[in-house]
Amino acid sequence: MEIKAGISLQTKQVLSQLQVESLNILAMSMTELKDFMQNEEIENPLVEFTAGQGEEAAPVTYKETERFYNGTEREDSRENELYEIEDSEKSIEDLVNMQLHWKQIGDTERKIVDFCVQSLEQSGYLLVPPQEIAERLNVSKEQVENVLVMLKELEPQGIFASGLEECLMLQVQGMDEEEKLSRMINDHLQDIAEGKISTISRALKLSSAEVRKLIHIIKELNPRPLNGVGGEKAQYILPDVLLSNQDGQWNIELNDKWTGSLGINDYYIHMMETAQDQELKSYFENKLRRARFIMNAIEQRRETLTGITREILKRQEPYLLGKGQLKPMTLEEIADAVEIHKSTVSRAIRDKYLRAPSGCFLFRSLFTTGIPSGDGNGDVSRNAVKAKLKELVAAEDKKKPWSDEQLAGLLQDAGMPISRRTVAKYRMELGIGGAFQRKEG
């Protein structure tokens, strides 16, 4: 019985290690995946790496990319799959603005965003307290905190954190072990640094093996999210998924032509099959299992990303064509549709970009919350409500501007039922004054 139990435990540990590695492959960016495959070829004689054909794709300047994002210029050609953000002094600002481009940002919010970007440390931390920002900009602390919530959702994960702990906490959001990881980060960072496994194990009532696994995850996080961003070299954006529409037919394609592919080396397969030395034969068999596992994990990554993109397309088709607003969509919704866990979706889209007819988007930016519509036809996004609110204010009689109560009624008539208080909140977020401030004459 003890022998069987030992074998069972060992099998579970191996399975767990393989599952972790498979999830790590899923989370890799195109550049990371390419590096990983090249390294596998070096370490495993049975692995054969075939380089992709897209390395020489010519990058475009930020100004060209900006036109592309704004939808004022579309390219039918797929020759330029690599996007360059020029000007090292503005690269961080560009990175933030690119992700905020499709959000409805008012003048006050913009002022706060600009201040926060300019105040970022080289590490990516924002060390200026919200109250100090509010006082410097003559805005409310609540407005600053609302903007910070938005900024902390941006990529790279952990940016705009107030310190190391918050930076790591932002990066574990959505992970399977989020609760345990959060407790370790909050209470035991020093213990992790000192390798006090037993101390953490007793405090959290976890086995030593589980503590080690969690520590490994934490050590894989990025304590300085802006490392590698800025500096003198130009920054690049490489879309992970290419989405095209030809005569009404959609095509979803992973950007594999850039990463290359893996195969099995026939020469070493023959050597394995003819080997007389049992130890050599066993070595090759283990390497073959490893090669097949990696290839299967990469194929699973492809299927998962394709499935997620397909479900996003079903919900955001008008937006991705540049003909509509972003609709409410959650990680849970996509996870249910693809039949995977929410944390797997979060891991799969992490730091990944989607190129569509209307622009190049961070996957994460396509997810938003919603408000129930008044006509029973699903939800409308906060962005859509804000856009309608802005439209109503722009068209009002400036001598008799609408009150927040009246604006709430007009939004209700437009199928967007929100309270007067929410109208006031959105109005302030857009930098629009109250009725008294807007009155002219």
Mean predicted confidence (pLDDT) in 36-60: 72
Strands (E), 95-219: none
Q: Is 296 inside a domain boundary?
A: yes
Instruction: Give the tens place of pLDDT for each residue, 167-205.
Output: 998 988 878 788 889 889 888 888 888 788 888 989 999
Specify whether 426 is located in the same domain as 376: yes
DSSP one-letter code for 85: E
Residue entry with tokens 């579309």? 74
Specify whether 263 is located in the same domain as 377: no
Is pLDDT above 90 for 94?
A: no
Is pLDDT above 90 for 19?
A: no
Domain boundary pick from 366, 394, 426: 366
Specify whether 329 is located in the same domain as 384: no
Residue entry with tokens 């090249």? 38
Q: Which of 310, 326, 309 is nearest to 318 (CA)?
A: 326
Element (H, E) at 235: strand 235-237
For residues 422-433, b (16+ Cβ closer than 10 Å) or e, as one string? bbbbbbbbbbbe
Mean pLDDT is lowest, of 62-66, 183-187, 234-238, 256-260, for 62-66
Residue 72, sorted as left (phi over 0), alpha (psi -120 to 50) or beta, turns out to be: alpha
Spatial CB neighbours of 183, under 8 Å, sequence gap ≥ 6 = 204
Positive/negative CA dihedral, 44, 33, 177, 225: positive
Mean predicted confidence (pLDDT) in 57-70: 32
Q: Is 404 inside a domain boundary?
A: yes
Specify whether 222 is located in the same domain as 242: no
Specify whether 263 is located in the same domain as 342: yes
Amino acid 294: pLDDT: 94
Is residue 139 within 8 Å of residue 111, measured between CB atoms? yes
What is the three-class DSSP state of 52? Answer: coil
Mean predicted confidence (pLDDT) in 44-57: 70
Is pLDDT above 80 for 51?
A: no
How many angstroms separate the CA atoms of 384 and 392, rounded? 12
Q: Is 82 inside a domain boundary?
A: no
Amino acid 230: pLDDT: 52
Specify whether 157 is located in the same domain as 138: yes
Sheet of 249-254, strand order: 249-254, 241-246, 353-356, 359-362
Other beta carbons within 10 angstroms of residue 275's beta carbon come to 16
Element (H, E) at 170: helix 164-172
Amino acid 5: pLDDT: 46
Amino acid 388: pLDDT: 85
109, 236, 316, 378 from 342: Cα distances, Å: 30, 29, 19, 21
The type of residue at 205 is K
Residue entry with tokens 């913009």? 110
52, 79, 258, 362, 434 from 57: Cα distances, Å: 11, 6, 9, 20, 51
Q: What angle do CA 368, 312, 391 make, to 5 degrees?
A: 45
How many angstroms separate the CA atoms of 337 and 330, rounded? 11
Amino acid 326: pLDDT: 79
Specify whether 228 is located in the same domain as 241: no
Instruction: Give how many domains the chain has, as a whole number.
Output: 3
Q: Is 197 inside a domain boundary?
A: yes
Is pLDDT above 90 for 49?
A: no
239, 313, 320, 355, 392 from 71: Cα distances, Å: 17, 18, 10, 12, 24
Q: Is 75 inside a domain boundary?
A: no
Specify whether 253 is located in the same domain as 228: no
Specify whether 192 is located in the same domain as 290: no
Q: Is 155 inside a domain boundary?
A: yes
Q: Is 114 inside a domain boundary?
A: yes
How many angstroms separate the CA atoms of 375 and 12, rounded? 51
CA atoms within 13 A on the CB side of 56: 1
Name beta bridge partners: 242.
253, 355
Specify whether 209 is located in the same domain as 347: no
Element (H, E) at 66: helix 62-70
Spatial CB neighbours of 394, under 8 Å, sequence gap ≥ 6 = none
Q: Is 402 inside a domain boundary?
A: yes
User: Which is more confident, 438 or 84?
Assistant: 438
CATH code of residue 423: 1.10.10.60
Domain boundary pick from 233, 268, 303: 233
Mean predicted confidence (pLDDT) in 7-23: 64
What is the three-class DSSP state of 47? Answer: strand
Mean predicted confidence (pLDDT) in 237-246: 84
Sort strands 235-237 and 83-85 into parallel, antiparallel or unpaired.
Answer: antiparallel
Instruction: Give the tens place of pLDDT for each residue, 387-417.
Output: 888 888 888 888 888 888 889 888 887 777 7
Mean predicted confidence (pLDDT) in 320-349: 88
The DSSP string of 347-405 is HHHTT-EEEETTEEEEGGGG-B-EEE-TTSS-EEEHHHHHHHHHHHHHHS-TTSPPPHH
Instruction: Give the tens place of pLDDT for each residue, 316-330.
Output: 998 888 887 778 888
Amino acid 369: pLDDT: 58
pTM above 0.85, yes or no: no
Specify whether 328 is located in the same domain as 222: no
Amino acid 334: pLDDT: 93
Q: What range does the domain containing 393 cover?
A: 372-438
Is residue 127 within 8 Å of residue 161, measured between CB atoms? no
Domain boundary pick from 315, 344, 366: 366
Instruction: Give the tens place of pLDDT for each residue, 100-129.
Output: 766 667 889 989 998 998 888 888 899 888
Element (H, E) at 292: helix 278-320
Specify whether 202 is located in the same domain as 92: yes
